[in-house]
Structures are given as C-alpha cells and as structure tokens.
C-alpha cells in the first residue's frame, strides 16, 4: 500500500483542506444535541420562547452549515480520488508497456486488463469513501464518546463497550475478507481472458460450431467468479448485521440505564435526549465505517495486485558495452539456448552469422522454434545462455529504444486499429503520407488502397474485419516498412498471399530497400530460395543451414519439402 499511498502526496494540501472542512462539519453536528438539551432543560421549563427561537435558529444554521461543509468536502474528495486514479492508471499502463515479454507471460494479458480497469476502480472507490466517511465517521464516534463522558459517564462506558465490540467484529471480518477478494479478482481475470479469446476468435468459433462449448466455458468461469465474489461478499456481509445487533443492544442498555437515572433524578430529560442523539450519531457513523471497510477490503486487495506490476523489477537491464563486444556480425547468434518454462529447451545451441544487407530464411514445422529465435533477436526474451548479436554488439548492451528502432517486424497475428488506413500504417508514429504511400506500394497494398472510397482515409473495422486476409497482411507489411528499418522481420507474413503477389513483394523489398537486412520465416521453400542463408529448424535445434543450393544437396528434409511444394525434382 505504500506505493499506492504515494499517489496522494501531490494532493496533500487539498486533502488537508477537505479534512478541515469535514472536521468543521463534524463539530457542527456534535453541537446540535447540546443545543437540543439546552432547549428542553432550560428554555422550555422557563417558558422563554425567544430563547427557544434563538437556539432553534442557531441549530438550523448549524445544520445547513454542516450540510454545506459535507457537500464541499465530498466534491473535493471526488476530485482527488479521480485525479489520483487517473495518474495511477497512467503509470500502471506505462509500466505495463515496459514489462518484458516474460513478465507479461507471467502476469497474463487478461490479468493486466483486469488490473487496469477493475482494480484501479476499486482503489478509486476506496480512496473516495475513505475521504468521505473515513474522516467524518471517526470524528463523530470519538467526539460523541467524549461529550457523552462529560454528560453521563456510566452511559458513556456502555457506549464505549459497544463501539469497541463493534470495531473488533469489523476488524475480524475485514481480515477474512481481503484474501477472499484477491481470489475473487483472480477469478475475474479468467473471465476477461475468455472474453478476449472469444472476441478475437469469433469467426473460428462460429466456423467450427463451438458456440455451445464456449458458452459452457464462459458460464463455468462466470460461475467460479460469482462463487468467489459470493464467498468474499458473505464474509463481508456479516459486518453490517453484527454492527446492527451490537449497536441496537447498546441502545437498549442505554435507554434502560438512562430511564433509571432520570427516574432517580440523577439525569435531566434533556440530557437523555441529547445522549440518545449522540448514540444515533455514533451508531450511524459506526455503520458507515462497516460499509467503508467493505470498500477498504476490495481496495487493499486491488492495490496489492496493482503494486505487483508497478514494483515488478526490471529484468532486462542494459549492460555496459565492453571493447571486446564490438566484434560481432550485423545479426547472429553464438551458441544460444532458451527455455520458456525452464524445463525443456525451446531453442538449443543456435549459432549463425548474417552480414548487413543479406537475407536470412528460417524454415521449420509448427513448434520448431522459429518465432522463438526471432523473439530472442528482438530481445523480447533474454537467452538463457550464449550471445545474440546485433550491429556488432551483444543485444544486452543496447537500450530498448535503440534496439526496437532498428527493426521492422510483421508477426503472424497483429492487430489493426479501428481507424483509417493511414493511421494503421503510420501506427501513431506521425509518418508522412508520402512514406506511408511508398511503403504501401512496396507491400503490394496500394492496389486495393487506392480503390477504397476514401483511399488512405478509409476507415477500417475492428481488427480489419472489412478487409480480406491478404489485404490485412499487406497492410501489416506496409506498417513495418513505413519507418524504413535497418532490419525487416517477416514472420509468415506471406502466408495469406498468392505466389505471384508474394514474389512481387520480395522483389519490391529488394528493389526499394536495397540495404535492408531481411529475416523471413516461412513454410514455403519458394519464399526462401533466394535467401543468402537458410536455417532449418526442428524441435528447437538448427538441423541444417546454408543457401538453397547447399541445402538441396545436404539436407534431405529440405529437399523433400522443396519437391513436394514445387511439384517435382528441383
């Protein structure tokens, strides 16, 4: 909670003013029963009507004053909680962008979404309610107890015992509620994950007629979330009934004891009325605190989840550049191994060298480690052993910005924005329309873009649903080319293109980007045959490497794939 509380520091002056206003409102509310006792015990027996009106008028002014102070303080509390939550959500989002891919895998995207939305909302509610009721309620309880001790110590002791028992019961309930709310939030993560999967894969779900199975899966996750929330809610629901029971019990005891004292002449009737007014104030404040502790429990559980992300250590540090490090190739690996789970190697002892301007082809079946190899080149993950080279340096010596700015990447599944064609290619980088147009022409996308009703300004549906698969793929290639990168990575980027378009694409890249270093992952031998260097991967191991001609002579697997795809001996 220390990190989350730090977001209140910039608002400390406004919070202090709000506390002062709340304190003023509480004082005004606490003085009202004293004036009421004065009217009953002094003014009414003396038949002093002007004094009754004066005291009544003063009570009215004080009541309006207390209401005005509470409204003002509540508005200030709302502003502070909204602004601090905005800053918290902004920092959480920025920290999420800086997480390594390994950390994102560990947290999961659905959990990150839940923390950015549901958890920040719970923290907002916690701070808002604390500023509203967490200041006023304790003041009314403490002030009421102090004033009742001055009026009737025996009755005040009864009230103190009831309040102590009530707060102890609330503390016990809250202690049990916080861990249950954490589990409830984790259940929400699962619901968000299934929703994301269904939203992104809705076409596949409908095509395979899996709506029933997905409904059952979502229903099961929703039921688990509901049960987790109910478990936490049932525990926290005990706070209000316990408080009501204890306070009503206290009220009965106070009324009985007060009636005996009045009957014996040891207390005036006005005092017992004032005492009951204070008891009502304290009771209301205590019940408010019980409700506040429900928000507090949710807020603390969510704050802990948010802090896990905010305080996640930087696990991809930039190491100091050594003289000896300036000896590597433009792109390459030296005995690199990597495992996602730390059990079996997903890439083992990978080594290759590639000079600037050359083309690297990567061929292999699904799960062979092709995308893993590219992820290590981009330093989305750190290798467990070995060295990854980029521009003559170990990638661990390059800053995140320097590393990413050298690459243009097209992964297998990338999202398109619900925005114009221009914004999807520029991708918030502010690129000129000339650069975007040139990149679209190289990517073989200009042909269909210029036929759209508004050209570059045509609006795309969510995830580019109003485009064909090949059109979406060409737009993504244009996005990677638009910033004129030094290294271009195409991860199965031509899988939705016909052979003629794919051939025209590769020829255009070589024509328009003559100095670019190209990394092509493909299942098609035809897409890799002109590469300067080809890696054949199988189960995370580079089983063969060389150019097309060499591999036809030395690698049986490569030769068989080429013969099958090209329709005969090659």
Could you please report the per-residue DSSP string of 191-241? HHHHHHHHHHTHHHHHHTT-HHHHHHHHHHHHHHHHHHHHHHHHHHHTHHH
Helices 211-237 and 239-263, packing angle to 10 deg: 20
Q: What are phi and psi of 389, to 5 degrees?
A: -100, 145
Residues 6+ apart with CB under 8 A from 67: 25
Instruction: Check whether 461 has a pLDDT greater than 90.
Output: no
- pLDDT over 90 percentage in the chain: 11
At 306 the pLDDT is 92
At 72 the pLDDT is 92
User: Confidence band (pLDDT; 50, 70, 90) for 556?
Assistant: confident
At 324 the pLDDT is 47
**β-strand pairing of 359-363 with 533-538:** parallel
At 453 the pLDDT is 85
Across 136-149, average pLDDT: 78
At 270 the pLDDT is 67
Tokens of 76: 């200030």
User: Confidence band (pLDDT; 50, 70, 90) for 142?
Assistant: confident
At 84 the pLDDT is 92
Of 367, 368, 364, 362, the C-alpha closest to 521 is 362
User: Confidence band (pLDDT; 50, 70, 90) for 61?
Assistant: very high
Instruction: Check whether 207 has a pLDDT greater than 70.
Output: no
Over the chain, what is the mean pLDDT?
82
Residues 516-527 have pLDDT tens digits of 899 988 877 878
What are the domain boundaries of the chain? 2-176+236-307, 327-566
User: Confidence band (pLDDT; 50, 70, 90) for 124?
Assistant: very high
Across 12-27, average pLDDT: 88
The residue ranking higher by pLDDT, 34 or 207, is 34
As a CATH number, domain 327-566 is 3.40.50.300
CB-count exposure of residue 116 (10 Å: 0-12, 13-18, 19+):
middle
pTM of the entire predicted model: 0.70
- With helix as H, strand as E and coil as C, how does 351-395 read? EEEECCCCEEEEECCCCCCHHHHHHHHCCCCCCCEEEEEECCEEH
Calpha distance 227→222 (Å, rounded): 8
At 411 the pLDDT is 81
Of 425, 537, 534, 417, the C-alpha closest to 484 is 425
Q: What are phi and psi of 360, to 5 degrees?
A: -105, 125
- pLDDT over 70 percentage in the chain: 93
At 97 the pLDDT is 85
Instruction: Check whether 193 has a pLDDT greater than 50.
Output: yes
User: Confidence band (pLDDT; 50, 70, 90) for 90?
Assistant: very high
Calpha distance 16→11 (Å, rounded): 9
At 569 the pLDDT is 56
Q: Which bin fits 545, alpha (ψ -120 to 50), beta or left (φ > 0)?
A: beta
Residues 303-336 have pLDDT tens digits of 988 999 999 888 777 766 655 445 557 788 989 9
**β-strand pairing of 393-394 with 385-390:** antiparallel
Tokens of 394: 């170990």
The residue ranking higher by pLDDT, 73 or 1, is 73
Across 449-472, average pLDDT: 83
Across 39-65, average pLDDT: 85
Instruction: Check whether 214 has a pLDDT greater than 50.
Output: yes
At 92 the pLDDT is 93
The residue ranking higher by pLDDT, 321 or 213, is 213
At 202 the pLDDT is 67
Across 458-485, average pLDDT: 84
Instruction: Check whether 145 has a pLDDT greater than 90.
Output: no
Calpha distance 40→262 (Å, rounded): 14
Reply yes or no on domain 2-176+236-307 having CATH 1.20.1560.10. yes
Of 473, 568, 565, the C-alpha closest to 525 is 565
Calpha distance 453→466 (Å, rounded): 13
At 567 the pLDDT is 64
At 269 the pLDDT is 66
The answer to whether 297 and 174 have CB atoms below 8 angstroms apart is: yes
């Amino acid at each position: 909670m220390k990190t989350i509380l730090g977001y209140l520091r910039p608002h400390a002056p406004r919070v202090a003013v709000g506390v002062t206003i709340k304190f003023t409102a509480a004082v005004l509310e606490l003085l009202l029963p004293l004036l009421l006792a004065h009217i009953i015990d002094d003014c009414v027996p003396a038949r002093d009507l002007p004094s009754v009106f004066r005291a009544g008028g003063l009570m009215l002014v004080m009541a309006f004053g207390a209401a005005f102070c509470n409204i003002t303080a509540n508005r200030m509390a709302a502003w502070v909680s909204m602004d601090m939550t905005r800053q918290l959500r902004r920092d959480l989002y920025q920290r999420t962008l800086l997480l390594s891919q390994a950390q994102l895998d560990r947290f999961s995207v659905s959990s990150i979404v839940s923390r950015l939305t549901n958890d920040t909302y719970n923290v907002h509610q916690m701070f808002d309610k604390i500023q509203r009721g967490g200041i006023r309620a304790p003041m009314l309880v403490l002030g009421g107890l102090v004033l009742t001790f001055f009026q009737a110590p025996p009755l005040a002791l009864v009230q103190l015992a009831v309040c102590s028992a009530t707060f102890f019961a609330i503390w016990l309930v809250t202690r049990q509620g916080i861990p249950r709310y954490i589990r409830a939030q984790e259940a929400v993560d699962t619901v968000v994950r299934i929703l994301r999967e269904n939203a992104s894969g809705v076409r596949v779900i409908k095509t395979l007629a899996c709506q029933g199975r997905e409904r059952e899966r979502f229903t099961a996750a929703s039921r688990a979330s509901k049960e987790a929330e109910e478990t936490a809610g049932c525990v926290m629901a005990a706070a209000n009934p316990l408080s009501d029971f204890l306070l009503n019990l206290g009220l009965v005891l106070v009324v009985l004891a007060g009636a005996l004292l009045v009957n014996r002449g040891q207390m005036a009737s006005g005092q017992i009325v004032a005492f009951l007014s204070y008891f009502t104030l304290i009771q209301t404040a205590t019940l408010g605190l019980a409700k506040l502790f429900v928000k507090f429990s949710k807020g603390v559980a969510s704050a802990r989840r948010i802090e896990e992300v905010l305080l996640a250590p930087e696990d991809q540090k930039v190491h100091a550049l050594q003289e000896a490090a300036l000896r590597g190739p433009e792109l390459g690996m030296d005995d690199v191994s990597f495992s996602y789970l730390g059990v079996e190697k997903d890439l083992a002892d990978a080594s290759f060298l590639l000079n600037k301007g050359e083309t690297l082809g990567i061929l292999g079946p699904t799960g062979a480690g092709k995308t893993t190899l590219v992820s290590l080149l981009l330093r989305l993950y750190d290798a467990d052993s070995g060295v990854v080279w980029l521009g003559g340096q170990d990638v661990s010596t390059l800053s995140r910005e320097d590393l990413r700015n050298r690459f243009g990447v097209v992964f297998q599944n990338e999202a398109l924005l619900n925005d114009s064609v221009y914004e999807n290619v520029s991708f918030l980088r502010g690129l000129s329309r000339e650069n975007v147009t040139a990149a679209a022409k190289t990517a073989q996308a200009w042909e269909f873009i210029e036929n759209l009703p508004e050209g570059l300004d045509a609006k795309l549906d969510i995830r580019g649903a109003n485009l064909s698969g090949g059109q979406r793929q060409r737009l993504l290639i244009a996005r990677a080319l638009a910033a004129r990168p030094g290294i271009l990575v195409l991860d199965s980027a031509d899988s939705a293109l016909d052979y003629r378009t794919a051939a025209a694409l590769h020829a255009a890249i070589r024509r328009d980007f003559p100095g670019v270093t190209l990394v092509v992952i493909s299942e098609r031998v035809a897409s890799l045959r002109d590469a300067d260097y080809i890696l054949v991967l199988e189960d995370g191991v580079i089983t063969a490497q060389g150019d097309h001609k060499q591999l036809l002579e030395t690698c049986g697997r490569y030769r068989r794939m080429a013969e099958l795809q090209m329709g005969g001996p090659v």
